[in-house]
Structure 1
Amino acid sequence: MIPGKLLGPGGVGITRRSVAKQAPRFLLLAVGAYLFLLTSVCLWERIFFDCLSREVGALGSPLAGKLIVVDPGHGGPDPGVVRGGVREKDITLAVAQRLSHFLRQAGAEVVMTREKDRDLADPDLWDMKERKRQDLERRIALANRLRADAFLSLHVNSFEEADEYGAQTFYQAGSEESRRLAEAIQQELQFLLGNTERLPKAGDYLVGRLARMPAVVVEIGFLTHPEEKRLLQDPAYQSKVAFAVYAGLARFFAQGR
């Protein structure tokens, strides 16, 4: 090989200087390809979201006029589960915003307990245990005060071992309506996500004890599971989860309270 010269196709010599001159062009092509890919992904998500919105309009009559309180779990100084810089509070807010959009498209009135990175506790309350309790009490108190038809609290699950995965609903033991709501949402999560076989689970929860309406906690996946962690950060998957929760609500109200 001649020093300072590269052999191109057919043995044609290409000088290092000519390669250097082509570098800006290669960089421009690379940037162009990246922007094209980014635009394509965004466009696909928009089309996906619009299609779901049209489907909401067709299915939404059972929710017309219903008041739904959507509660994105955690917020402010409470990030919830954190793995590799990914925070539960950010994911729950993103899904809650999508869910609220679907519900409003269906004719429901929606109140979110938070619409940004904050909680409902007093700013000067620094004891985190007390702060979390006050925050939860105020979230459900808001729903009670508004006489909401349903209360949905969105969370992300975690486990010590990384093999646990799947969205799951939780309801207050002894509350028949909450059980029915949890079952309706779980059925849609199983059908639309196709990656969970979990069943609704009864328990004793502060939110459930205080709620005067059907109330469900939806753990939308495990941040400790590598694949589910990736999915939970995907805007298209967040829309899919939100639509599944919406469909469960529509099923619940279609069956009659």
Structure 2
Amino acid sequence: MIPGNLLGPGGVDIARSSVVKQAPRFLLLAVGAYLFLQTSVCLWEKLFFDRLAREVSALGSPLMGKLVVVDPGHGGPDPGVVRGGVREKDITLAVARRLNHFLRQAGAEVVMTREEDRDLADPDLWDMKERKRQDLERRIALANRLQADVFLSLHVNSFEETDEYGAQTFYQAGSEESRRLAEAIQQELQSLLGNTERLPKAGDYLVGRLAQMPAVVVEIGFLTHPEEKKLLQDPAYQSKVAFAVYAGLTKFFAQGR
């Protein structure tokens, strides 16, 4: 048993640093049991330092050696959804960086389509509709060229009415592997965030049509919902969202990708 204080549902305050030797196996089990470890610094992040990463990897994570392309939506001249000065492109990059961290600690190889405020379109292409399409096509082309195991695109949703809220995962209709991936991630979003009852949604998306591997778009919340807007700006909540996506991806590979 890991020493510490029970903070409430899903919360454990680690009592001493020596627990690190026990933590890796506990963490791998916790993904399925929805148990989380909390430190006095910030939810999720304190435990994932180098020594722990090596021990987790040594246990044989389902993510070990998998190539994951993480796509923070928008960037550069394309801010995505903007509400009250809060830009989608900043939120997706923040969550992607945290997801990158979790995945690498579990032994995955990670390529991010962008690691700063930029897009992948030609600098001199100023027609925004064409620029967005070129940008997206190049992101997917990167994943195809690398022969990635999965493609994860992170976005923030919006709606005319301000009462819509909740993270939701989208996948290409007819793709069984993408459906499985979307379901695994959505289950973790529902369980770990506790504020969405949305289900995975199939459709016809450019990402799904062009990707040569399981691919999903994760809309991590609504910037048009006042309370969710606040959450999406909170670093601790961003880590929680990233961990949910990570847990879903772990489940997907554990089930036999």
1:14–1:102: structure 2 CA closer, same or farther, 3 Å change rule? closer
| 1:198 Cα offset (Å) | 0.3
Rounded to whole Å, the distance in 1 between the matches of 2:10 and 2:155 is 61
1:48–1:86: structure 2 CA closer, same or farther, 3 Å change rule? farther
| 1:200 Cα offset (Å) | 0.1
Rounded to whole Å, the distance in 2 between the matches of 1:52 and 1:15 is 16
1:89–1:27: structure 2 CA closer, same or farther, 3 Å change rule? closer
CA contact (8 A) 2:164 2:225 kept: yes
CA distances 1:43-79 after superposition (whole Å, capped 9, x unpaired): 9974799999799769871000000000000000000
Rounded to whole Å, the distance in 2 between the matches of 1:247 and 1:14 is 21
Number of residue pairs matched by the alignment: 257
Which stretch has the larger CA shift, 168-177 or 14-23? 14-23
Show the counterpart of 1:181: 181
1:34–1:139: structure 2 CA closer, same or farther, 3 Å change rule? closer
Which stretch has the larger CA shift, 57-66 or 105-114? 57-66
| 1:148 Cα offset (Å) | 0.1
Q: Higher helix fraction: Structure 1 or Structure 2?
A: 1
CA contact (8 A) 1:60 1:105 kept: no
Structure 1: state its 5+ residue gaps. none
| 1:192 Cα offset (Å) | 0.4
| 1:29 Cα offset (Å) | 46
Rounded to whole Å, the distance in 2 between the matches of 1:243 and 1:14 is 18
Rounded to whole Å, the distance in 1 between the matches of 2:2 and 2:149 is 80
CA contact (8 A) 2:168 2:200 kept: yes
1:16-31 aligned at under 5 Å gives the runs: none
Structure 1 vs Structure 2: percent identity of aligned residues?
91
CA contact (8 A) 2:93 2:116 kept: yes
Rounded to whole Å, the distance in 2 between the matches of 1:2 and 1:192 is 21
1:49–1:184: structure 2 CA closer, same or farther, 3 Å change rule? farther
1:93–1:22: structure 2 CA closer, same or farther, 3 Å change rule? closer
CA contact (8 A) 1:6 1:14 kept: no
CA contact (8 A) 2:71 2:152 kept: yes
* Partner-residue secondary structure (3-state), 1:62: coil
Q: Larger Rg: 1 or 2?
A: 1
1:210–1:52: structure 2 CA closer, same or farther, 3 Å change rule? farther
| 1:34 Cα offset (Å) | 34
CA contact (8 A) 1:60 1:250 kept: no
1:133–1:41: structure 2 CA closer, same or farther, 3 Å change rule? same
1:125–1:51: structure 2 CA closer, same or farther, 3 Å change rule? same
1:138–1:43: structure 2 CA closer, same or farther, 3 Å change rule? closer
| 1:9 Cα offset (Å) | 46
Rounded to whole Å, the distance in 2 between the matches of 1:247 and 1:12 is 18
Rounded to whole Å, the distance in 2 between the matches of 1:20 and 1:61 is 17
* Partner-residue secondary structure (3-state), 1:191: helix
Rounded to whole Å, the distance in 2 between the matches of 1:4 and 1:59 is 23
1:48–1:64: structure 2 CA closer, same or farther, 3 Å change rule? closer
1:49–1:188: structure 2 CA closer, same or farther, 3 Å change rule? farther
CA contact (8 A) 1:59 1:106 kept: no
CA contact (8 A) 1:181 1:214 kept: yes
* Partner-residue secondary structure (3-state), 2:164: coil
| 1:30 Cα offset (Å) | 41
CA distances 1:69-124 after superposition (whole Å, capped 9, x unpaired): 00000000000000000000000000000000000000000000000000000000
Which stretch has the larger CA shift, 47-56 or 200-209? 47-56
| 1:5 Cα offset (Å) | 52
Which stretch has the larger CA shift, 33-42 or 128-137? 33-42
Rounded to whole Å, the distance in 2 between the matches of 1:178 and 1:64 is 20
1:129–1:40: structure 2 CA closer, same or farther, 3 Å change rule? same
TM-score, with normalisation over the residues of structure 1? Answer: 0.80
CA distances 1:18-58 after superposition (whole Å, capped 9, x unpaired): 99999999999999999999998769974799999799769
* Partner-residue secondary structure (3-state), 2:36: helix
Runs of 4+ with >4 A deviation = 1-60
Do residues 38 (structure 1) and 38 (structure 2) align?
yes
Rounded to whole Å, the distance in 2 between the matches of 1:188 and 1:194 is 9
